[in-house]
Amino acid sequence: MAKPMTQTENVMDNIPYYDKWQQGEGIPIIKTFFVQDLRKVPVAHWDRIGGEGAFINMEGAEGATGAYVCEIAAGKNLKPQRQIYEEMIYVLKGRGATTIWNDKGAKQTFEWQEGSLFALPLNAWHQHFNGQGSEPARFFSVNSMPIVFNLFHNADFIFNVPYDFTDRFNGEPDYFSGKGTAHTGRIWDTNFIADARNFKLEEWKERGGGGTNVMLEMASGSMAAHISEFPIGTYKKAHRHGPGFNVIIIKGKGFSLFWRQGEPIKRYDWQDGSVFTPPPMMWHQHFNTGATPARYLPPRLGGIKYSLGEQFGDITKVDKDVKAGGNQIEYWDEDPSIRKMFEEELAKSGTTTRMNPDFYKKK
Ligand SMILES: [Fe+2]
């Protein structure tokens, strides 16, 4: 195991600091385009946090976001930690609780379970507890570690800044109540979602397939997320956007296609627990071949309230026709082989398409 790295070593190797720092943490580093099941990713003891973990360096993220899997042993807890990168956490299995506090505020604790989603307020102290004495708890973190680590290249600073961002979190007792505030246009401002798999969604016609969605702004961060679902026997329109949309499948079964103009199409078959991160401006399209609606949750860099502009997290063009300056291929313009291939896939499991023929009529 390499020596844990806190500050920059003066080596002209052109390797990002975050990559070198990871090497010293002593846990598996998985670099991949696609993870079939986050619940099955092997983890190893991670001394820094006092649990087990594995870094998941999603190729399509291209350093816009980082990710890791963490497991807390039955009846155990992790060490308290604060940090100046943002972090969104989706609970893959088990149940437990997290205590949050800042230097001047009172401690508060909220409980989570499989399917919960929450965001850690920037630089707030936090400690995670497994609430079960018989089973491990496992979560998936999507975070802004690569950008922050590479920018400051000093881990000691990143984990030891004595500053409370009271504009983001000031000990409010209902901060993690899950109450939230609904805004127009399917936007939901909240810090905790008890069960993302069953959270109520709103119609989002423009993305196709009879799908529904909410856009999530969390913990006043520069990271955001959304939850989308599309019905049995349907598929979404192809679209593209910037890097760092970490698409976690939280319900259902199906596949996605990825391609750039003139290059071969890649296909990945997914189920609950899969994750992929479409590379910047690569076309991608999601297909539901399962027996239930398919639901996915992509934590990302770049929100609506705290936007990072067009390069990161911009959702303004993801549901607009590419022929009109947007980043979406309308059903009536797509290669007809896509619809045919989908219908053939459904036939394999003895089901048929539920795509409305009107979807394909030019509007
Ligand atoms: Fe997408």
Q: How far is the CA of 339 from the centre of ligand 1 (A)?
A: 19
CB contact at 8 A, 273 and 39:
yes
Mean pLDDT of 139-166: 97
Strands 44-46 and 51-58: antiparallel
The C-alpha atoms of residue 229 and residue 209 are separated, in whole angstroms, by 10
Distance, CA 245 to ligand 1 centroid (Å)?
7
pTM of the model: 0.96
* pLDDT at position 1: 52
From ligand 1's centre to the CA of 170, what distance in Å?
Answer: 34
From ligand 1's centre to the CA of 86, what distance in Å?
21
Q: Pull the structure tokens for residue 193.
A: 């979602």
Q: For residue 13, how far is its CA from the centre of ligand 1 (angstroms)?
A: 34
Secondary element (H or E) of residue 336: helix 336-348
Token reading at 114: 């499989």
| Model pLDDT, residue 3 | 67
CA dihedral 215, 205, 258, 60 (to 10 degrees): -10
Buried b (16+ CB within 10 A) or exposed e, 34-53: bbbebeebebeebebbbbbb
CA angle 24, 61, 262 (to 5 degrees): 135
Residue 309's pLDDT band, with cuts at 50, 70 and 90, is confident
CB atoms within 10 A of CB 222: 18
Query: Alpha helix locations (H) across 24-176?
Result: 145-152, 155-158
Domains and CATH numbers, the chain: 17-158 (2.60.120.10), 181-360 (2.60.120.10)
User: Phi, psi (5° rounding) for residue 155?
Assistant: -65, -35
Q: Which residues contact 282 (CB under 8 A, 6 or more apart)?
A: 60, 240, 258, 259, 260
The C-alpha atoms of residue 131 and residue 134 are separated, in whole angstroms, by 9
Q: Looking only at Cα atoms, what is the longest distance across the chain?
A: 62
Give 9-40 pLDDT, tens digit per residue: 778 899 999 999 999 999 999 999 999 999 99
Give 165 Cα–ligand 1 centroid separation in angstroms: 31
Reported as a single tens digit per residue, the pLDDT across 175-232 is 999 888 888 778 999 999 999 999 999 998 889 889 999 999 999 999 999 999 999 9
Q: Using CA of residue 315, residue 316, residue 321, residue 327, what is the dihedral sign?
A: negative
Strand (E) or helix (H) holding 20: helix 17-23
Lowest mean pLDDT among 31-40, 121-130, 315-324, 330-339: 315-324
Q: How far is the CA of 40 from the centre of ligand 1 (A)?
A: 24
